Structure 1
Amino acid sequence: MQTGAVLTVSESKRLIAKGVAAHPAVQRALKSGLVAIAKGTTNSYVVEEILGKPIEKTNYCTGTTWPTKGSRAGKVSGAIPDVVLRNGQPVEGATATGSVADMKAGDVFIKGANAVNHALKQAGLLIGHPTGGTLGATLGTLVARRIHLIIPVGLEKSVPGDIV
């Protein structure tokens, strides 16, 4: 017998965030290392789960596409600074992108995605910055130093085709 469950997008993001917070690599880096959480809608839930306190989630987003009219207009301000944790403690004034320079193997960089093809195990990111945005600025270092890149993304962002 099989059962199914239907979750709202918010419920899905919360479940994903709980999984990211419990991930062994994240737990290790929280004890002894660096964890940087780039801004994003799903990552706002990750921040809440890791810090153990609520935040104004719409303020932990950048580069989002929102309607110009209606109840969501003007809600995103990006007012919450990036969350970077060293040995589980916040690093004041640090940015997610800038912290990569201090990372070593085993540290964790968390960056959300805009699209996912679960069957092909692909995640896609919309890059609006002329030099590649967050991932363009960090990917080389992440790979070279064997830093864990965790990309939390919900199935509401599913696309049927090859993303690459």
Structure 2
Amino acid sequence: MSTSESSRQFLLTVSMGKRLIADALATDEAVLRAAKEHCLVVIMGSTNAAVAAALAEKLSLSFSPNGFHRGLQLGPARAGAHSAPQNADFIVRAGELLTDKTIFDVADSLGQEDLILKGANALHLKSRSAGVLIGSPVGGTMMPILQAAVGRRTRLIHPVGLEKRVERPINELAALANRSGDSKGLRLLESCGEVYTELHAIEALFSLRANLLAAGGVCGAEGSVLLMLSGSEENLLRAERYFRSIQDMPSFSL
């Protein structure tokens, strides 16, 4: 660390992390350009509910994050809970919100100037790769996404929180989950998309370097991460003010 730099530690809860990622992506020039001039597709998910809400505010579009999800990993107390999910992804083409449309409706029209944001379930930090759990026998939303991303080079970004980090490379975990003969449980797909975590968001919003120091907590801090931020004192103060403003973010609810 340079002698002119300072450092500070911050604890981020899972909900704070979602908000941080959302606020950073809502100021990203490439994301906004796709929404205003081309096509931006935000796939339903718990992190992307925050992302879509932040983008909707930025673009002056109508959106409610309630029910903006497909499959969810629920705790034992909520294992049998059911909610009314939305029936459309957040899709903006040339500045206009496409209502009642999903990735299945628009995938064939996506090209290199367009952009897809899709959440992830596993994050391998060292290789900067993401894995997506698959519950559908026909591959779920990842099948049309890959057709666009691989077939027509549509940019694919995975907003994903650090609480989803895994130790082993995604391809090794996918091989375990997808073994032939295993008829129960979810499958895992390694994605070709870019990962976008709280570390990227902090660099984008505050021009600070962030390192993961520790993780975990109780009483609402489960899944939290303790980050060491390094950079100018001015930027650290900006980050501190921001984190203070979002520290009461409620946990995700159905």
Aligned runs of 1:15-164 on 2, under 5 Å? Answer: 15-52=20-57, 55-57=64-66, 59-67=67-75, 69=77, 74=81, 76-79=83-86, 81-164=88-171
Q: 3-state DSSP class of the match of 1:39? A: coil
Contact preservation (8 Å) 1:35, 1:108: yes
State the AA in 2 paired with 1:46: V
Give the gaps of 5 or more residues in structure 1: none
Q: Give the deviation of 1:81 after TM superposition.
A: 2.5
> How high is the TM-score relative to the length of structure 2?
0.59
Contact preservation (8 Å) 1:25, 1:148: no
Aligned residues: percent identity? 33
State the AA in 1 paired with 2:45: G
Q: Give the deviation of 1:17 after TM superposition.
A: 0.9
Contact preservation (8 Å) 2:127, 2:169: yes
Contact preservation (8 Å) 2:42, 2:52: yes
Contact preservation (8 Å) 2:103, 2:145: no
Equivalents in 2 of 1:68, 1:118: separation in Å? Answer: 28
State the AA in 2 paired with 1:125: V
Instruction: Number of aligned residue pairs: give it.
Output: 162
Equivalents in 1 of 2:92, 2:161: separation in Å? Answer: 24
Q: Give the deviation of 1:26 after TM superposition.
A: 0.8
Aligned to 2:14, which of 5, 9, 16? 9
**Alpha carbons of structure 1 residues 81 and 54: separation in structure 2 relative to 1, 3 Å:** closer
Equivalents in 1 of 2:116, 2:104: separation in Å? Answer: 9
Give the root-mean-square deviation of aligned CA atoms. 1.9
Tell me the alpha carbon deviations over residues 15-68 of structure 1, each in whole angstroms, 9 at most, x when there is no partner. 1111222222211112211011111110000110110177344x0011112246
Instruction: Kindly indicate which of the two structures has a greater share of residues assigned to strand.
Output: 2
State the AA in 2 paired with 1:18: D
Give the gaps of 5 or more residues in structure 2: 1-5, 172-254
Equivalents in 2 of 1:79, 1:141: separation in Å? Answer: 23
> Radius of gyration: which is bigger?
2
Equivalents in 2 of 1:19, 1:5: separation in Å? Answer: 17
Please say which of residues 27-36 and 136-145 is displaced more in the overlay. Answer: 136-145
Contact preservation (8 Å) 1:41, 1:60: yes
Q: Give the deviation of 1:140 after TM superposition.
A: 2.3
> How high is the TM-score relative to the length of structure 1?
0.89
